[in-house]
Amino acid sequence: MTAKKNFDYRRILALIVFCLCLALALPVQAAKNDEPVTTVILVRHGQTDYNKENRYQGFLDIPLNEKGLAQADQLAASLKDVHIDVFIASPLKRAYVTTEKCAKAKGMEISYTDERLKEINYGKWAGRSKKEIAETEPKASRLWQETPWKTRPPEGESLQELAARYRAALDDAVRRYPGKTIFIGAHSKGNMALLCNVLGIGLEHYLQFEQDNTCANVLKYKNGQWKLVLMNSISHTGKLYKGQNK
């Protein structure tokens, strides 16, 4: 009889402990499910003369040309009815001015610039045309054009390094502004590497992305998961995609 009582006591005690654990776990799970959605509008800058001339820009601080300024104005106008809480930009002029025009159109200012959002460092190739590099350094040029995830420009940066710093900048922004809509003005190669990273696909798929001047990408983040809502949209320029109607 005593053994049976002890056995029942242990069962009751175990049930109480289980219920307590469950009661503690449910609010944690509920809180996780209630995490607000953070939206990121990731944008590439407008056109520069170097874009037009097909030159490597990288860290060089090349300004927007006349067309690029017009593209930035078109993008800014398209955001009239889009709620945005914060504007963040690369410190390079072409991305900064594009972002600044968008912020001013909404009566806002850029909250901060982030050095990690600069374009890829092209090292010795910066300022030189792709045609020139292909003629003078054919092997290195071919490797970069065909398998960029396996190489890097001379004294430049790898895609892995680029993706890591862009992701760090993005993660910091999301932690700083949870549940907000964040506009990030950046660069094509950085955006392409970041899209690979947040979507969990390898950099060997990097060349399958395109980022046209002033294109908009929209990403949503919740509970550790990223969703791609929109990519490489240039509808604000009057075209659905680059090269349309050619």
Catalytic residue numbers, as ranges: 45, 119
DSSP 8-class letter at 56 = -
Q: Which amino acid is at 84?
A: I
Please check whether residue 114 is in contact with residue 169, taking contact to mean a CB–CB distance below 8 angstroms: yes
Q: What does the DSSP assignment read for 71-138?
A: HHHHHHHHTTTS---EEEE-SSHHHHHHHHHHHHHTT----EE-GGGSPP--GGGTTSBHHHHHHHSH
Pairing state between β 216-222 and 225-233: antiparallel
- Cα 62 vs. chain centroid, distance in angstroms? 21
Pairing state between β 86-89 and 112-113: parallel
